[in-house]
């Protein structure tokens, strides 16, 4: 499913616009992909910001200050296709179909006006088989790094069968401990964000 089109891009990130219903908008930390037709490559990224633009008629601004705004008017506006701008951090690429996914910056940025697709659970599971993208996220600028990494890990956990979720969660915890060995306070904060409730309703930390 095409969820938007690229507005502008650079080597590290890109922004796409969309007008799809709210229920179809990918969430913070979700993995998305786009293609560079000139190189026959696929570029993967994590959503780190979603900005809601005002509608062309300024209805949202009017209703937000109106003392007599009716509930049905507000509900009607919520059901409109309000334009969104979604910011994505590049975390990997596939050179050609059938080639392995490489976790790192793509050789070229996405192409303007090219379609963006949400990655499903199976694609998310395949991408997160390797955890090299952790370092790329941790070294990024102008993004909510710790929250983004925690959300991406939770999505990776949920993309796996229940029998493999804890194994993956522990692997992520060990990788974080390795990368943040000199920053114990940050590591502790990240692990607190990664508390996860398993299917058996027992809550466990990523690393005990």
Instruction: Give the tens place of pLDDT for each residue, 79-118.
Output: 556 688 999 999 999 987 778 999 999 999 998 888 999 9
Q: Domain range holding 41?
A: 2-120
Structural domain contains residue 47: yes
14-34 residues labelled b (16+ CB within 10 A) or e (exposed): bbbbbeeeeeebbebbbbbbb
Structural domain contains residue 164: no
Number of domains in the chain: 1
Q: Which residue has the tokens 């990788």?
A: 175
Which of 88, 84, 69, 117 lies closest to 29, judged by CA?
88
| Rounded mean pLDDT, 48-63 | 64
Structural domain contains residue 82: yes
pTM of the model: 0.83
For residue 71, pLDDT over 70 is answered with no
| Rounded mean pLDDT, 6-18 | 93
Answer whether 183's CB lies under 8 Å from 168's CB: no
Structural domain contains residue 44: yes
User: Percent of the chain at pLDDT above 90?
Assistant: 59
């Amino acid at each position: 499913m095409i969820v938007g089109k690229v507005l502008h891009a650079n080597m590290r990130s890109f922004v796409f616009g969309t007008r799809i219903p709210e229920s179809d908008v990918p969430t913070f930390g979700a993995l998305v992909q786009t293609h560079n037709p000139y190189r026959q490559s696929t570029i993967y990224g994590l959503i780190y910001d979603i900005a809601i633009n005002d509608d062309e008629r300024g209805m949202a601004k009017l209703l937000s200050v109106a003392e007599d705004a009716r509930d049905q008017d507000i509900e009607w506006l919520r059901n409109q296709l309000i334009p969104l701008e979604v910011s994505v951090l590049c975390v990997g690429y596939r050179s050609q179909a059938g080639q392995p996914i490489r976790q790192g910056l793509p050789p070229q940025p996405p192409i303007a006006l090219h379609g963006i697709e949400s990655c499903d659970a199976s694609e998310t599971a395949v991408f997160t088989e390797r955890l090299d993208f952790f370092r790329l996220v941790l070294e990024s600028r102008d993004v909510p790094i710790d929250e983004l990494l925690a959300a991406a890990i939770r999505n990776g956990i949920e993309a796996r069968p229940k029998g493999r979720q804890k194994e993956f969660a522990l692997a992520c915890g060990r990788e974080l401990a390795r990368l943040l060995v000199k920053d114990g306070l940050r590591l502790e904060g990240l692990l607190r964000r990664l508390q996860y409730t398993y299917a058996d309703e027992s809550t466990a930390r990523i690393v005990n």
